[in-house]
Amino acid sequence: MVECLYAPQRVLHEVTTQADVHDDVLYVNGLPKGAPLPRWVKPELLPAIQVPTLLIHGRDDRVVSFETSLYLLANIPDSRLVLLNRCGHWAMIEHADEFNRLVADFIANN
């Protein structure tokens, strides 16, 4: 079995096992079972967000599927999504330079 640098199987197993024991998530209709939102997120309030919002998500995230970010993108009015290829759950670590550039550019222009 080949381990990917961005999502090692042992880390995946630990994270998904831990995620299974938490009951503090809300599964949103239309998202796969693996795409929860924390219970404190009230989907009906997302359209009321009045500030520019940057969403950065790893395409290969096995903890939270990128469909969750697509849901947020569709429901937050002034939002932008950057989906990073060959990136798992830790975009800020796995693609640190690109992540930092995206955040700095977003802050500078908003």
* Residues with catalytic function: 89
* Bridge partners (DSSP) listed for residue 81: 55
What is the DSSP code string of 12-25? HHHHHHHHHT---E
Angle at 92 between CA 52 and CA 2, to 5 degrees: 135
State residue 105 phi and psi, 5-degree precision.
-65, -40
- Please say whether the beta carbons of 103 and 54 come within 8 A: yes
Please give the single-letter amino acid code of residue 43: P
